[in-house]
Amino acid sequence: MERLWDVDLSARFARRMGKTAAELDKSRVNDDCPEIWELDNGDVAIVGRDVTERFSDRLPAGLSISADERLVVIPGEMLRAAKEDIADV
């Protein structure tokens, strides 16, 4: 079945949303940093801890993760810090 939305693999990283993990005291090294980025097509890329397997037995009803998807977790403070960079619709 064709998906209604899929990743545009030609999209480029446009801007960081919010603050870096280091600015929020959530990381001390550069290769261990959660990130939130807006792509040039308006989609959002999230770098976080892959917890797909560890959460798979406790997903709420209605939430499923396809074989080509991953559940990632970032510090809540990072998302709240990005709020001013997220446009109201």
Assess contact for 74 and 48: CB atoms under 8 A.
yes
Looking at residue 26, its pLDDT comes to 84
Q: What is the pTM of this model?
A: 0.86
- Note the pLDDT tens digit of each residue in 44-61: 999 999 999 999 999 999
Q: Which residues in the chain land under pLDDT 50?
A: none
Percent of the chain with pLDDT strictly greater than 90: 78
Domain extent listing, the chain:
13-85
Phi, psi of 38 (to 5 degrees): -90, 135
